[in-house]
């Protein structure tokens, strides 16, 4: 079915069609008679052997939805019915912000890729927190990650306060946190990946974490463009700060080996999709081997097939996330990945 409707979707602006589709999905889930039952019957995954516990959180299956797809947590229940084992919302910032000027998302169909420069467009952490509170009040068992960042106008020297605000506001309504310092679409943000500012940020969040009667796992999302020396620093930082793990990787600024036209591939922003498949797996393997598998890794970047997910897990990932592969391959990819993971278990 998706193969039939995908060419129609791809005739329209990527951002506009994204919201068109997810809004219809939510309407179908919420208002269509038996909509939820039909979605779960078609996509939900009831396969034994997929459950796992990672950084103290229990996941019904290891295939999640990456941050950026549902920034404001508006479509969590409907997306979960497609079979995702967990949903990561955000990136969210303390204050609402519109993001970068449109157009800001571009398909590279020849490369099965997307370039985006969204710029942390979101409705702010208060709106997200309230929405998640209502979801939790339903006794929802959906595992939710909160991906947090800083506002565009917040200088890097004050960035820690932005992350703290998001952390405090979401603490009671998410199952784990992701610190996003690796998006290429907020000016100066990637500078926070350098050792000194990153240590300060993560240590501060960990101190905040330890003041609560319970703590939440904190993960760091890193760029695929880091050198081996920088990845060595990441391993050291994770071990020294005691955070729960790493998400590898975010989008890339690399444009090598693309087939798309010069006009499209030179658009500013982060590249995701198949061109990232190999590099993200390399980063996972490097971190896993360098650390001696000392911490969990969530693998994301260029997963367009069950084999792509298996490769990431064999490289050292405990869980995987989809975004661009979900758009290009359709919701059926979740169940296909899970079926193959059971076979290789």
Structural domains of the chain, ranges and CATH numbers in brackets: 2-344 (3.20.20.70)
Q: State the CB neighbour count (10 A cutoff) for residue 242.
A: 13
pLDDT, tens digit, 9 for 90 and up, residues 269-287: 999 999 999 999 999 999 9
- Cα–Cα distance measured from residue 169 to residue 106, given in angstroms and rounded to the nearest whole number: 33
Structure tokens at 26: 């939510």
For the purposes of burial, counting CB atoms within 10 Å of the CB of 340, is it exposed (0-12), middle (13-18) or buried (19 or more)? middle
The full DSSP string for 283-336 is HHHHHHHHHTS-S-EEEES---SHHHHHHHHHHT-SEEEESHHHHHH-THHHHH
- Which pLDDT belongs to residue 339? 92
Contact 111, 259 (CB under 8 A): yes
> 263 pLDDT band (50/70/90 cuts)?
confident
pLDDT, tens digit, 9 for 90 and up, residues 282-312: 999 999 999 999 999 999 999 999 999 999 9
3-state secondary structure at position 186: coil
Beta-carbon contacts of residue 132 (< 8 Å; ≥ 6 apart) = 73, 89, 144, 146, 170, 173, 174
Contact 169, 125 (CB under 8 A): yes
- Which pLDDT belongs to residue 208? 92
- Which pLDDT belongs to residue 39? 84
pLDDT, tens digit, 9 for 90 and up, residues 29-66: 998 878 888 888 777 777 778 999 999 999 999 999 99
Give me the catalytic one of 112, 183, 288, 291.
183
- Cα–Cα distance measured from residue 10 to residue 105, given in angstroms and rounded to the nearest whole number: 12
Q: What is the pTM of this model?
A: 0.95
Tally the residues of the chain: 345
**Alpha-carbon separation of residue 229 from 2, 38, 194, 283 (angstroms):** 42, 49, 11, 12
Instruction: Provide the percentage of residues in the chain whose pLDDT is more than 90.
Output: 80
Flag whether pLDDT at 345 surpasses 80: no
Flag whether pLDDT at 79 surpasses 90: yes
Flag whether pLDDT at 212 surpasses 80: no
Q: State the CB neighbour count (10 A cutoff) for residue 48.
A: 6
- Which pLDDT belongs to residue 257? 85
Mean pLDDT to the nearest integer, 79-105: 96
Is pLDDT larger for residue 71 or for residue 139? 71
pLDDT, tens digit, 9 for 90 and up, residues 314-342: 999 999 999 999 999 999 999 999 999 98
Active site residue 288: no
Structure tokens at 68: 């950026």
């Amino acid at each position: 079915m998706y193969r039939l409707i995908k060419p129609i979707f791809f005739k329209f602006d990527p951002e506009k069609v994204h919201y068109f589709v997810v809004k219809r999905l939510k309407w179908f889930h919420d208002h269509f008679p038996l909509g939820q039952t039909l979605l779960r019957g078609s996509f939900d995954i009831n396969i034994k052997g997929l459950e796992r516990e990672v950084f103290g959180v229990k996941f019904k299956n290891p295939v999640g939805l990456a941050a950026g797809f549902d920034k404001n947590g508006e479509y969590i229940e409907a997306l979960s019915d497609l079979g995702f084992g967990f949903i990561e919302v955000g990136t969210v910032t303390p204050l609402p912000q519109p993001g970068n000027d449109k157009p800001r998302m571009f398909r590279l169909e020849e490369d099965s890729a997307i370039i985006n420069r969204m710029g942390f467009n979101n409705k702010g952490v208060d709106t997200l927190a309230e929405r998640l509170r209502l979801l939790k009040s339903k006794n929802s068992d959906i595992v939710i990650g909160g991906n947090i960042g800083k506002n565009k106008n917040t200088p890097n020297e004050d960035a820690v306060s932005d992350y703290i605000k998001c952390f405090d506001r979401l603490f009671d309504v998410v199952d784990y946190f992701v610190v996003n310092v690796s998006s290429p679409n907020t000016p100066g943000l990637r500078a926070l990946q350098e050792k000194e500012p990153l240590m300060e940020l993560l240590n501060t969040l960990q101190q905040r974490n330890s003041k609560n009667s319970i703590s939440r796992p904190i993960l760091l999302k890193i760029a695929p463009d880091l050198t081996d020396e920088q990845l060595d620093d990441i391993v050291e930082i994770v071990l020294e700060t005691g955070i729960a793990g790493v998400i590898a990787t975010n989008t890339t600024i690399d444009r090598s080996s693309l087939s798309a036209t010069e006009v499209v591939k030179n658009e500013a922003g982060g590249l995701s999709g198949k061109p990232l498949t190999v590099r993200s797996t390399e980063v996972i393997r490097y971190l896993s081997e360098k650390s001696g598998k000392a911490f969990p890794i969530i693998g994301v970047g260029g997963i367009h097939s069950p084999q792509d997910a298996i490769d990431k897990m064999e490289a050292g990932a405990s869980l995987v996330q989809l975004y661009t592969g979900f758009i290009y391959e359709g919701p059926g990819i979740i169940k296909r990945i899970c079926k193959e993971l059971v076979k290789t278990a």
